[in-house]
Amino acid sequence: MNRREFLRRSALGAAGATVTLEQLLSAQGGPGFRLVDVTRSAGITFRHNNGAYGGKFLPETLGSGCAFLDYDADGWQDILLINGMDWPGHRRQRSTLALYRNNRNGTFTDVTKAAGLDIEMYGMGVAVGDFDNDGFPDLYITCVGQSRLFRNTGKGTFVDVTAAAGLGKREAFSTSAMWVDIDRDGRLDLFVCNYVRWSPDRDVFCSLDGRQKSYCTPEAYRGETCWLFRNRGNGTFEDITATCGIFDSGSKALGVALLDDDQDGWPDIFVANDTEPNKLYRNLKNGRFREVGLAAGIALSADGKARAGMGVDVADIDNSGRPVIAVTNFEGEMVGLYRAEQAGRFRDVALASGVGQPSKNRLGFGCVFADLDLDGDVDLIVANGHIDDTVRNIPGNVGYAQPPHLFLNDRGAFRDVAAQAGGGFEQPRVGRGLAVADIDNDGDLDILLTTNNGPAVLFRNDRQSANQSVRFKLTGTVSNRDAIGATVRITHGGITQSRMVRGGSSYLSQSELPVTFGVGHRDVVERAVVSWPNGRVEEFRNLATGKRYDVVEGKGLVNR
């Protein structure tokens, strides 16, 4: 089709023009949407500081995460960016985490100081969850050293309650974290990943040439167990790590995700480990877990090797109701895509699905499943970037900065459309954290990506098709207020899609809690079923698409 024909058909009447345009884009192999880099126009000026001064400390390689949260509960997603800081004795600048309030007009305002988050810490990741069920999301910031719990006062500010909550006096190299109600008591518990036993005074000298120090691989350090804190419901937490079955002093965890792999309605936990087998902790429904990673087939690669697990996300990508787990790995190891062949038994289908080969020569970190083109098939976004900036000196290497992946899912077959997504999305970056949310409430998902020792980038998703979405924001009453662990299933045209409300996932980051379904051209969803974390099930019929529904446990749809 020539340019004149394209323009002529694009200029057709309003009723038919959209479909024609979509057909044209599809015919031209376009993804059906366009990403626009709105970082500058949105007012996001954040720049990550990893404190690198030449000491080649391991945390400098890992970057930090980001989160979408509605901290002021106004229905618009705000942005939190985690930051590192200069190392003691090498202070050059002040760097803090950054909170950006959504101005509801495409711009954001930096409210870090006003929110009381103008604090220096060597931050790594973030978990957002309303642990006190007051309607305002609280923050757990993982750090190198002491991680922090910030309670949201509901008045636009946060208060550090780490010590009061019983989470103080814990120095570690913490990475990803996740809020999850493991015992279904309606209160969010906290799972924290720890990487290795590292501190500046435990640093090991590693070198490629025997003279100059270089970054060590995790094998140089001892592992550290992940932590699980049970929410007592009185603002304090109990460390049940040693008794709940997740204690593992050899673990080198970087990513964590919530799933229900055995479909029993109780939350299970997946942990991505770096150079150690991944772990799958199955909930025994009594406050304890049993590790079943090896038997479930997710511990190792298809050839039996423990890979460098970084980020992780879980989704029902084939509308089977069963979870598929994506795990990003080191360069040469490709992304792992574990599909449940039967409940609790997984097989790595990365190569067969088209995700494996393109990701083989990239070093992946953040990864998020999201239906970006709203066609009903969940797509996969992967942030890439090497850990060592000297890699650029190695001939033939893919480089320190690497292009991210945007795998568009077409009925189980993935193709990387990063280069066609627009907005400079395909530019090589030292990508780390990754999260998605609908920042402009237009029904599609926008992307936030952090880079190591660099800026964060915000991409707005501009739909170029007539595809519609339907979104659900769940509020628990008996279950935890954020409804983390709830599953929404919608049925339209004989297809049933499912989404779980998740904290954690990706790498050091957290996406928004509302769930988004792409439904293509459908105007109505025939059936929507919400399975709340405490086991209650609610069903709704004939919901118009193109809307966001607020569902309150026991009260149904409050904004129909």
Partner 1 sequence: MRRTPTATLLLGLIVTLATVLAYSWYISRQITGLRQLQTDLTDRNRRDSLLLLRIQGDLNQIALAMRDMLDPDETYPIQAWSAQFDRIRADLDDALAQQEAVTVARRTPEQARFLASSVAQFWDASARIFELAAGGHADEARSQVRLSLQPRQAALSTAVARFLVQNNESEAQTAEQVQQIYATVQRQVRWFLFATLAAIVGTGVFLIRSSQRLFSELASLSDQRRELAQQLIGARESTLREIARELHDEFGQILTAIGSMLGRAARQAPDGSSLRQDLREIAEVSQDALDNVRGLSQSLHPSILEELGLGSTVDWYMTTVERQLGLVVDYERSADLPPLDENVSIHVYRILQEALSNVARHSGVHDAAVRLFWDDGQLTLTVQDRGRGLAVDGGRRGLGLVTMRERAALVHGALELVSPPGGGTLVRLTIPVQGPVAA
Nearest-CA neighbor of 124 among 106, 110, 151, 144? 144
Q: Is residue 219 involved in binding partner 1 (CB under 8 A)?
A: no
| 222 part of the interface to partner 1, by CB under 8 A | yes
C-alpha 436/C-alpha 371 separation (Å) is 10
Record the tokens describing residue 544, joined without a space.
């118009």
Among 61, 83, 176, 241, binds partner 1 (CB under 8 A): 241
Cα separations in angstroms, 484 against 118, 178, 226, 509: 28, 10, 20, 15
Stretch that binds partner 1, among 244-252, 426-434, 522-530, 552-560 (CB under 8 A): 244-252
- How far is 441 from 245, CA to CA, in rounded Å? 41
242 binds partner 1 (CB under 8 A): yes
Q: Does 248 bind partner 1 (CB under 8 A)?
A: yes
Shortest Å distance, C-beta 249 to partner 1: 4
Binding mask 112-151 for partner 1 (x = CB under 8 A): ----------------------------------------
**Alpha carbons 255 and 235: distance in angstroms, whole number:** 26
Report the nearest approach of partner 1 to the CB of residue 291 (Å): 5
Question: Is the Cβ–Cβ distance between 455 and 530 less than 8 Å?
Answer: no
Stretch that binds partner 1, among 82-90, 241-249, 420-428, 441-449 (CB under 8 A): 241-249
- The residue among 10 and 243 lying less far from partner 1, judged by its C-beta, is 243
- In the complex with partner 1, the residue whose CB is nearer, 195 or 425, is 195
Task: Give the total of residues touching partner 1 (CB under 8 A).
Answer: 15
CA-CA distance, 429 to 59, in Å (whole number)?
A: 18
The answer to whether 115 touches 97, Cβ cutoff 8 Å, is no
Quote the CA–CA distance of 21 and 1 in Å, as a whole number: 13
Find out whether 192 and 140 touch, Cβ atoms under 8 Å.
yes
Footprint (CB under 8 A) of partner 1, residues 468-487: none
Closest distance to partner 1 from the beta carbon of 514 (Å)? 36
Which residues, in sequence order, are CB contacts of 275 under 8 Å at separation 6+?
217, 218, 219, 252, 306, 307, 308
406 touches 431 (CB < 8 A): no
Under the binding rule (CB under 8 A), the answer on residue 291 touching partner 1 is yes
Q: Is residue 247 close enough to count as binding partner 1 by CB under 8 A?
A: yes
Q: Return d(Cα 541, Cα 121) in angstroms, integer.
A: 48
Told to check if 345 binds partner 1 by CB under 8 A, we report no
245: contact with partner 1 by CB under 8 A: yes
Looking at the Cβ atoms of 3 and 169, the one nearer to partner 1 is: 169
Q: Are 284 and 290 in contact (CB under 8 A)?
A: yes
Q: Tell me whether residue 250 or residue 332 sits nearer to partner 1 (CB atom).
A: 250
Contact assessment for residue 311 and residue 272, using Cβ atoms and an 8 Å cutoff: yes
In the complex with partner 1, the residue whose CB is nearer, 196 or 417, is: 196
Binding residues for partner 1, rule: CB under 8 A, are 170, 222, 225, 241-250, 291, 294
